[in-house]
Amino acid sequence: MATAGEKIFAGSRIRDLRARNGQSQQGVATALGLSASYLNQIENDQRPLTPGILLKLCTLFGVEPTWFSDSGDIQRMQVLREILGDPLFSAMPSPRQVQEAVRGAPWLCDQFVTLYRAFRALQEERGQAGAAAPAPQPGTGSYDAVGDWVQAERNYFDEIDRAAEALYESARLEEGGPAEMLGRYLRDRHDIRIVTDAALDSQGVMWRFDRRARRLAVTGGVPPESTAFWLAQVIGRLDYGQVLARPVRRSGLGSADARALATVGMSNYFAGALLLPYERFRRAARQTRHDLDLLQRQFGVSFEQVCHRLSTMQRPGAEGIPFYFIKTDIAGNVLKSYSATRFSRARFGGLCAQWNVFECFSAPGKLHVQMSRTTDDAVYISVARTVGHSPVSYFDRPRLVAIVLGCAVSHAPELVYSAGLDLRDDRMVIPIGPGCRACIRTDCRHRAIPATGFGIDAGSEERGVVPYHMVAP
Residue ranges, comma separated, of all CATH 1.10.260.40 domains in the chain are 11-69
User: 268 Cβ partners below 8 Å, 6+ apart?
Assistant: 233
The number of CA neighbours under 13 Å toward the Cβ of 365 is 2
Q: Which amino acid is at 411?
A: H
Q: What is the mean pLDDT of residues 380-401?
A: 86
Share of the chain above pLDDT 90, in %: 40
Between the CA of residue 63 and those of 53, 55, 59, 329, 402, what are the distances in Å?
A: 13, 10, 7, 35, 32
Least confident stretch, 86-95, 107-116, 256-265: 86-95
Handedness of CA 1, 21, 278, 144 (dihedral sign): negative
Which segment of 29-43, 133-147, 340-354 scores lowest on mean pLDDT? 133-147
C-alpha distances out from residue 240 to 232, 313, 393, Å: 11, 21, 39
Residue 465's Cβ-count burial label (10 Å; 0-12, 13-18, 19+) is: exposed
* Residue pLDDT, tens place only, 440-466: 788 888 888 777 667 777 766 766 777
pLDDT for position 138: 43
**b/e sequence 365-400, b meaning 16+ C-beta within 10 Å:** eeebbbbbbbeeebbbbbbbbbbeeeeeeeeeeeee
What residues pair up with 102 in beta bridges, in sequence order?
Answer: none
CATH fold label, 11-69: 434 Repressor (Amino-terminal Domain) (1.10.260)
Is 80 exceeded by the pLDDT of residue 246? yes
Beta strand 429-431 with 368-373: parallel, antiparallel or unpaired? Answer: parallel
Residue 7: the pLDDT is 66
Could you count the other beta carbons within 10 Å of the beta carbon of residue 31? 15
Query: Quick one: pLDDT at residue 136?
Result: 43
When pLDDT is averaged across residues 288-303 and rounded to a whole number, the result is: 97
What string of DSSP letters covers 285-324? HHHTTS-HHHHHHHHT--HHHHHHHHTT---TTS-----E
Which segments of the chain belong to CATH 3.30.450?
Answer: 324-442
Please give the average per-residue pLDDT across 260-278, as a whole number: 97
| pLDDT greater at residue 246 or residue 53 | 246
| Mean pLDDT along residues 116-138 | 60
Confidence class of residue 124 from pLDDT cuts 50, 70 and 90? low
Instruction: Kindly report the CATH class assigned to 324-442.
Output: alpha beta
Write down the pLDDT at residue 127. Answer: 60
Q: What is the model's pTM?
A: 0.77
pLDDT band at 347 (very low <50, low <70, confident <90, very high): low
Tell me the pLDDT of the chain averaged across its residues.
Answer: 85
CA-based nearest residue to 170, from 70, 104, 258, 240: 240
Q: Is the pLDDT of residue 472 over 70?
A: no
Give the best-scoring range by mean pLDDT among 64-68, 269-273, 398-402: 269-273
The pLDDT assigned to 226 comes to: 93
Confidence of residue 346 (pLDDT cuts 50, 70, 90): low
Q: What is the residue type of 98?
A: V
Least confident segment among 18-32, 124-138, 197-211, 245-259: 124-138
Cα-based distances in Å from 308 to 101, 312, 323, 436: 32, 7, 9, 27
